[in-house]
């Protein structure tokens, strides 16, 4: 399993970085394809009468509509979507906490879960576009590396020292030691990038705080997907990536981290 994960990562990471170095329009369509694949998998988590192909088609249409808004520079409408994504993850945190306490507030209705898929996938896609166009492709690379570092730190620290369960009712394999590993790895990445950007003292402090919040949000995204998978009694959202599971299994942390990170960056402009 570990060898498959490493091999897949070695192949995909250079491709992702190369794509990010291209135009924002190209990045928009590539990420659109990834989101549609994620939507196809999400439909499987909805269960019931939700058809995967139809759901993915509807998500693709909505993404094209959002991209049209983007091209028309209707930024206020797009920022509303970004804010909606951040508010959604606050609600998701409450659901995760209550589930761990033994009370499930997660909807079982396929229709409601299908709607939630829009709140999970679309704000993240829009956040990455804003980040790529307004801040530059290297900021997208930083966000991805931050999440990858946190994920790797959690994986290896959890395997080596993990004993205290983080949320055993949701994902028994995750531990507080894994969280510590994620925070330590992401801290080193954040420090390196902050020095690279030559930030002022105030900007440095706020940026480090934002990176901490982003990593915690990425852990929440992972837990929420695990919760929905547990509800459907499945292990992986798909098998498209050897050793990694499905698309959702790889972007679950990004779906929560991206809206939080980009919203925070926008707010940080007022402190420069």
Give yes or no for residue 96 having a pLDDT over 70.
yes
Q: How confident is the model at residue 8 (pLDDT cuts 50, 70, 90)?
A: low
What is the distance between the alpha carbons of residues 113 and 107, in angstroms, rounded to a whole number?
7
Angle, CA 268 vertex, CA 97 and CA 116 arms, to 5°: 35
According to the model, what pLDDT value does residue 199 have? 86
Tell me how far apart the 2 most distant CA atoms of the chain are, in Å: 54
- Kindly report, residue by residue over 47-70, the tens digit of the pLDDT: 878 899 999 999 999 999 999 888
Query: Please, what is the average pLDDT of the chain?
Result: 88
* Containing structural domain, residue 66: 2-271
What is the distance between the alpha carbons of residues 11 and 32, in angstroms, rounded to a whole number?
20
Angle, CA 158 vertex, CA 172 and CA 169 arms, to 5°: 15
- Kindly report, residue by residue over 123-180, the tens digit of the pLDDT: 999 999 999 999 999 999 999 999 999 999 998 999 889 889 999 999 988 999 999 9
Q: How many domains are there within the chain?
A: 1
Among the residue ranges 4-18, 45-59, 88-102, the one predicted with the least confidence is: 4-18
Give yes or no for residue 2 having a pLDDT over 70.
no
Closest to 179 in 3D by CA, of 167, 166, 160: 166
What is the distance between the alpha carbons of residues 189 and 147, in angstroms, rounded to a whole number?
10
């Amino acid at each position: 399993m570990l060898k498959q994960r490493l091999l897949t990562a070695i192949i995909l990471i250079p491709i992702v970085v190369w794509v990010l170095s291209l135009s924002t329009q190209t990045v928009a369509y590539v990420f659109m394809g990834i989101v549609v694949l994620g939507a196809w998998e999400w439909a499987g988590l909805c269960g019931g009468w939700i058809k995967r192909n139809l759901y993915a088609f509807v998500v693709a249409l909505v993404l094209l509509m959002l991209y049209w808004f983007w091209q028309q520079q209707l930024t206020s409408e797009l920022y509303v979507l970004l804010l909606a994504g951040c508010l959604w993850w606050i609600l998701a945190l409450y659901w995760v906490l209550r589930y761990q306490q033994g009370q499930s507030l997660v909807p079982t209705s396929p229709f409601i879960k299908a709607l939630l898929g829009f709140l999970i996938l679309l704000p993240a896609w829009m956040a990455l576009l804003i980040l790529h166009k307004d801040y530059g492709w290297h900021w997208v690379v930083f966000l991805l590396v931050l999440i990858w570092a946190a994920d790797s730190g959690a994986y290896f620290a959890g395997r080596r020292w993990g004993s205290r369960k983080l949320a055993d009712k949701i994902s028994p394999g995750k531990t507080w030691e894994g969280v510590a590993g994620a925070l330590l790895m992401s801290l080193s990445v954040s420090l390196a990038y902050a020095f690279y950007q030559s930030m002022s003292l105030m900007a440095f402090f706020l940026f480090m705080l934002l990176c901490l919040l982003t990593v915690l949000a990425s852990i929440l995204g992972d837990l929420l997907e695990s919760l929905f998978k547990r509800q459907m009694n499945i292990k992986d959202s798909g098998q498209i990536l050897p050793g990694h599971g499905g698309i959702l299994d790889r972007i679950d942390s990004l779906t929560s981290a991206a809206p939080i990170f980009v919203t925070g960056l926008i707010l940080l402009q007022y402190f420069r």
